[in-house]
Structures are given as structure tokens and as C-alpha cells.
Amino acid sequence: IPMGIGTFGSRSLAVDGAATFEATKIVREKAARIAAHKLEAAPEDIVFVDGGAHVAGTPDRRVEWAEIAKSA
């Protein structure tokens, strides 16, 4: 086919992908603040891992995602 109208899939990815990326940053920042509060640490010291978050360098100081979500 020499000419077509296209699927426009790339445009929706650019718009929706950017919106999803920005929303994810907001959720991550809020989750870090909540975890930091629960772990008595600074938000910038929070490390996210499978199943939750912990204070950098001390994985035994941990909070689960479920607990973070309940506090949101």
C-alpha cells in the first residue's frame, strides 16, 4: 500500500507514556515520604525493593508495600 493513515500508536505511547512516567514519580515520592516517616529516616535515604522499602544500608529496617499503601 503506497499510502495509508497509520495506526497512530506511537502518538498515544508518547502521550500516555509521559503521563504514566510523571504519575509514577509522584507516587514514588509520596511512598518515600511515608516509608521515611514509618522508619524514622529521611525520604532520600529510602531504597525501594521487591515487596517494600528499607533504609539505605540497613535492609532490616523495612516496611512492606501494603503498609505504605494503607498509610497513603
CATH of the domain at 64: 3.30.365.10
Beta bridge partners of 47: 54
Could you tell me the residue range of the domain that residue 58 belongs to?
9-71
What pLDDT is stored for residue 32 in this prediction? 98
33 assigned to some structural domain: yes
- Is pLDDT of 38 > 70? yes
pTM: 0.78
Q: Let me know if residue 65 belongs to a domain.
A: yes
Average pLDDT, the chain: 89
pLDDT at 7: 61
Burial 47-59 (b: 16+ CB within 10 A, else e): eeeeebbbbeeee
The answer to whether residue 4 is domain-embedded is no
